[in-house]
Structure 1
Amino acid sequence: MEWFASPDAWLSRLALQRGLAVIYVIAFVTAARQFRPLAGEHGLTPAPLFLRSVPFRHAPSLFQWHYSDRFFQAVAWLGAVLAAAVAAGAADALPLWASMLVWTALWVLYLSIVNIGQLWYAFGWESLLLEAGFLAIFLGNGDIAPPTVTLLLFVWLVFRVEFGAGLIKWRGDECWRKLTCLEHHHETQPMPGPLSWFFHHLPRPLHRVEAAANHITQLVVPFALFLPQPVATWAAAVVIVTQLWLVASGNFAWLNWITMILALAAVDGALLARHLPLPAPPADQPDAPLWFQALVLAAAALVAVLSYWPVRNLLSAGQQMNRSFNRLHLVNTYGAFGSVTRVRHEIVLEGTTDREITEDTRWREYSFRGKPGDVRRLPRQFAPYHLRLDWQMWFAALSPAYARPWLRPLIDRLLRNDGPTLRLLRTNPFPGTPPRHIRARIYRYRFTTWRELRATGAWWHRTPVGEYLPPVQGPDLH
């Protein structure tokens, strides 16, 4: 069937598959390095407790049959190795059916992790990777021409990502309509990057241009992704440039990177090949077998049915952000920063080895890898790697309710100098002997001005706000 295949899209398929495989590698490595202290057997919110109370139908996962930290590590590293092999081209070296099985395995393995990850995995980019990973199963490989239907499903996905984010902003905080949100956002976003200080100090007219450009990119440009070429390619280019701007201005895990990868589905590969020094397209791209065509059409029908709930959400005045309407994380709704905080508060954990707390007690501060702490430390770039504990600390500063399930367990483990937990942090101020007491203080942070930076060398200025958690005494291990 000629309508089924898009031979000129071979380059888009190649970039989509290799790009998604790289994101899978990052996601699995992140899980392998962080899951155990966060949600492992002795984690802050233990997965075994979660699994005992949640049935398979509510959280389908391989770990419903067995969970141990060792088994989890095997699953995470297997996923990372498998994804790395796909990124290197292994799936194209396999028969079509085997290639589909590899992509299915990646999706099942990561779904198994997300569905037991609890609050640590309650981010839109987890569902976005799973939805994109499911569609990748039906992209085929070098044995056949890329299926047009699957490419359109990818375009539909990136449309919902962009349009959903645009609508939630327009309907949400009035500063988006007044074009003033970005006077605050670069400073108050969850995890600023090394250039965020400079973005914050752009002239106010440029902040208004940023906000206006965001509305155009997310509310208008997505419709052009469905238009004939070369319009769709130019629309995809606008999406990619906008996402690169976001990459430069902050740390949002792999959200921006995967959105750029998805936008490639709308790019005319033949057009690029004529203007860029790219390899020649495959000489022979036969039609897909009938069984594959039937599977692709079945997947498209499933997406069409499941799209009812995200579309209804988009049209609703009570639009929700980043929600999955099914436990398989297929055809989700997306969005970000429907409201923007004006003031940045940070929780600072401090410990002391003093047996008794007095006015003269010396408190030493724990330093996190990504979230602001030391005012002289320039924010680092971590994305597309995701620092899950650092992000939750930002939410906890907004409201103690966010931290209720895990902050006290975190402090208990720091009072014991728990090795896996400490590896989530940048520094341990008590490398030899555990502290006797730990407290949580809250500070107001703001970026310094140009003059303050030159005078003090500090990127942040902070002032104490008050007590977040009174001192907690640890076991007497001294």
Structure 2
Amino acid sequence: MWDWAAAPDYWAARFAVTHLLAITYLLGFVSALRQFRGLLGERGLTPIPRFLARVPFRDSPSLFHLHYSDRFFAGVCWVGVVGSALALVADLAPLWAWLALWTLLWLLYLSIVNVGQVWYAFGWESLLLEAGFLTIFLGPAEIAPPTLVLWLLTWLLFRVEFGAGLIKMRGDACWRDLTALYYHHETQPMPGPLSRWFHRLPRPLHKVEVLANHVTQLVVPFLLFAPQPVATGAGLVVAVTQGWLMLSGNFAWLNLLTTTLAFSAMAIPVGLPVAGLPPWFAVLVVLLTAVFAVLSYWPVRNMLGKRQVMNRSFNKLHLGNTYGAFGSITRTRYEVVVEGAADFDAEWREYGFKGKPGDPHRRPPQVAPYHLRLDWLMWFLALSPSYGRAWLPALVEALLRNDEQVLRLLRHNPFPDRPPLLVRAEFYRYRFTTRAERRETGAYWVRTRVGDFVPPLTLEDLT
């Protein structure tokens, strides 16, 4: 009776989706565990207790409304880490254990995101939550993958890709005249080890890259719903494109998640005997599909509307979201360089960040799929000081106090013995060195001072 609801040819696809998603959850919980004290802890830049005092549960559903302490937050992260590791072998578990484990992971990460404030205002956080929620209903290896859940995952991938393609065509003219990659590899938020090489590719090849991007995001998504083997081919195109993006820059786990979703469209018969869906579970999947059909109204309306927005969650559970990225391209790269001085007559020494450009001689590191949240916000800060309104004064104060938890977010503290007397931020223009400049100086960047961003401040000034 319920044979239509099962898709045994997608057993391998489910295996890939669930295991890659478990790894992504693991990255998310580890990232939270390692960074939350400096960003969100009781003495962090934007403390969670202060947020909870002004935002009610209905506006940010989270376990932390019941109780918050740094120790409790760390405990939630550790449970998530262990749960993510167990999810790698959960396909061997019975259906009830599968449902319990994946639901727990989703609830824990939702609790973190909903109190994460500006540090968690990234599209891939909502994408992880939406994909994680759907994976609850994929089921373990003892049953066949549910057809409708695979379609919902494919529909999620469609929104990610097509939404990104639309926002580009509607946004910056450089996407339409195919010149966007004249700038993007150099001005993207977090360049990687190969970004300079990509930037120095011939300009005609940059135009081919943009054209291929348009095909992948505006045409290929429709083929995901075509009969096999066309859908599998479309999924492979998406996966290859995401691999190209992984090589050219650092976008946290966005590319990993998009690749994960691409497997949901791939039918790879493996010949393993699997049982059909239990009737009660099949009914649950049908109800899930009906709920997402309703939730899809808002992202569809957004994509079809003239004023499309990127990365918007239409509800506090982060389900049925709209996605998109880089509707506009920055032509010139600016960086905020933070410095300290031991006294009024001492030389200024630069703080080093783990991922973002600073020292011109330092090669851009490979960070993704890990997410350095402060480094990303520093890129936004260079676009507009308004992005730092909630946390930049606290960062300056933390550096003036040599706050241990905040300093752990950095790569290099030039004042290991005692705090600086003064902290300032300078505004620089950065560009990649040419091949000749690289051979002559050994530098990856050329930077030119533009002016002050934050004037020299002492603790007394902040008081």
In the superposition, the TM-score normalised over structure 2's length comes to 0.98
Superposed displacement of residue 375, structure 1:
0.2
Matched, 1:229 2:228: yes
What is residue 422 of structure 1 aligned with on the other side? 407
In 2, the alpha carbon distance for the partners of 1:380 and 1:400 equals 25
**Superposed displacement of residue 197, structure 1:** 0.2
Q: Which string of whole-angstrom CA distances, capped at 9 and with x for unpartnered residues, describes residues 14-73 of structure 1?
A: 111111000000000000000111011111011111111111111000001111100000
Distance 1:95 1:256 in 2: 31
1:319 — aligned with what?
A: 308
Kindly state the Cα deviation for residue 94 of structure 1 after the two structures are TM-superposed. 2.1
Residue among 326, 336, 339 paired with 2:325:
336
1:474 offset after TM fit, Å? 2.8
Match of 1:462 in 2: 447
**Is the contact made by 1:236 and 1:263 (CA closer than 8 Å) also made in structure 2?**
yes
The equivalent position to 1:282 in structure 2, one of 257, 272, 275, is: 272
1:143 Cα deviation from its structure 2 partner: 1.5
**Once structures 1 and 2 are overlaid, which stretch shifts more, 367-376 or 285-294?**
285-294
In structure 1, the partner of 2:151 is 152
Q: Which of the numbers 352, 357, 362 marks the counterpart of 1:377?
A: 362
Code of the residue aligned with 2:339 in structure 1: it is E
Equivalent-residue separation in structure 2 for 1:412 and 1:383 (angstroms): 29
1:260 is aligned with what amino acid?
Answer: T
The residue that corresponds to 1:390 in the other structure is 375
Deviation at 1:433, TM superposition (A): 1.1
Aligned residues: 460
Equivalent in the alignment of 2:59 = 58
Q: How much does 1:444 deviate? A: 0.3
Instruction: Give a deviation string over 1:309-350, Cα, whole Å, max 9, x none.
Output: 000000011000000000000010000000000011100011
1:84 alignment partner AA: A
Q: Secondary structure at the match of 2:335?
A: strand
Q: How does 1:15-30 map to 2 (within 5 A)?
A: 15-30=16-31
Aligned: 1:350 with 2:363: no
Q: Name the residue aligned to 2:286.
A: 297
User: 1:9 aligned to 2:15?
Assistant: no
Instruction: Map 1:85-100; keep pairs closer than 5 Å.
Output: 85-87=86-88, 89=89, 91-100=90-99
CA distance in 1, matches of 2:153, 2:81: 23
Q: Partner letter of residue 349 of structure 1?
A: V
Match of 1:73 in 2: 74
Aligned to 2:424: 439
1:199-238 deviations in Å (ceiling 9; x for gaps): 0000000000000000000000000000000000110010
For residues 414-458 of structure 1, what are the alpha-carbon distances to aligned partners after superposition, in whole Å with 9 as ceiling and x for unaligned? 111111111100000001011000000000000010000000000
Residues in 2 aligned to 1:268 and 1:293: alpha-carbon distance in whole angstroms: 21
- The letter of the residue matching 2:266 is V
Show structure 1 runs of 4+ deviating over 3 A.
Answer: none
1:95–1:143 contact (8 Å) kept in structure 2: yes
C-alpha separation in 1, matches of 2:236 and 2:277: 29
One-letter amino acid of the structure 2 residue matched with residue 282 of structure 1: L
Q: Deviations over 1:240-283 (max 9, x none)?
A: 0100000000000000011001010000111xx5xxxxxxx432
Q: CA deviation at 1:475?
A: 6.2
> Which residue in the other structure is 1:400 paired with?
385
Which residue type is aligned with residue 295 of structure 1?
L
C-alpha displacement at 1:291, in angstroms? 1.2
Aligned counterparts, 1:110-189, within 5 A = 110-189=109-188
Distance 1:307 1:36 in 2: 36
Indicate whether 1:242 and 2:241 are aligned: yes
Instruction: Give the Cα separation in 2 of the matches to 1:66 and 1:311.
Output: 37
Answer whether contact 1:415 1:475 (CA < 8 A) is retained. Answer: no
Could you report, residue by residue, the CA deviation over 1:375-418 in whole angstroms, capped at 9, with x for unpaired residues? 00000001000000000000001000001110110110111111
AA aligned to 2:96 is W
CA distance in 1, matches of 2:42, 2:165: 40
Amino acid at match of 2:278: P
Deviations 1:85-139 (A, max 9, x none): 111x1x2232201211100000000000000000000000000000000000110
Give the residue type in structure 2 aligned to 1:420: Q
- Residue identity opposite 1:334 in structure 2: Y
User: Aligned residue for 1:413?
Assistant: 398
- The one-letter code matched in structure 1 to 2:272 is P
What is the identity, as a one-letter code, of the residue corresponding to 1:254? Answer: W
In 1, the alpha carbon distance for the partners of 2:175 and 2:79 equals 43
Contact 1:436–1:475, Cα closer than 8 Å, also in 2? no
Could you say what secondary structure the match of 1:269 adopts?
coil
Give the share of equivalent positions with the same residue, in percent.
63
TM-score (norm 1): 0.95
Residue type of the partner of 1:333?
A: T
Give the corresponding residue for 1:366.
351
**Secondary structure of 1:313's match?**
helix
Are positions 1:37 and 2:38 aligned together? Answer: yes
Q: Distance in 1 between matches of 2:28 and 2:356?
A: 20
Please tell me the residue identity of whatever aligns with 1:438: V
Is the CA contact (8 Å cut-off) linking 1:12 and 1:267 kept in structure 2?
yes
Give me the whole-angstrom Cα distance separating, in 2, the residues matched to 1:123 and 1:433: 35
Could you tell me how far apart the structure 2 residues matched to 1:52 and 1:376 are? 45
CA distance in 1, matches of 2:95, 2:38: 39
**Paired amino acid for 2:334:** H
Paired with 2:268 and 2:106, the residues of 1 have a C-alpha distance of: 26
Q: Is the 8 A contact 1:58 1:327 kept in 2?
A: yes
Amino acid at match of 1:323: R
Secondary structure of the corresponding residue to residue 390 of structure 2: coil
Write the distance in 2 (CA, Å) between the matches of 1:71 and 1:291: 36
In structure 2, distance between residues paired with 1:269 and 1:118: 41
2:265 is aligned to 266
Give, in whole Å, the separation in 2 of the partners of 1:42 and 1:374. 29
Paired residues of 1:165 and 1:335 also in contact (CA < 8 A): yes
Partner amino acid for 1:440?
Answer: A
Residue-by-residue CA offset, 1:123-163 (whole Å, 9 max, x unaligned) = 00000000000000110111211110000000000000000
Give ranges in structure 2 of 5+ residues lacking alignment: none
Q: CA RMSD in A?
A: 1.0
CA distance in 2: counterparts of 1:286 and 1:453, whole angstroms: 60
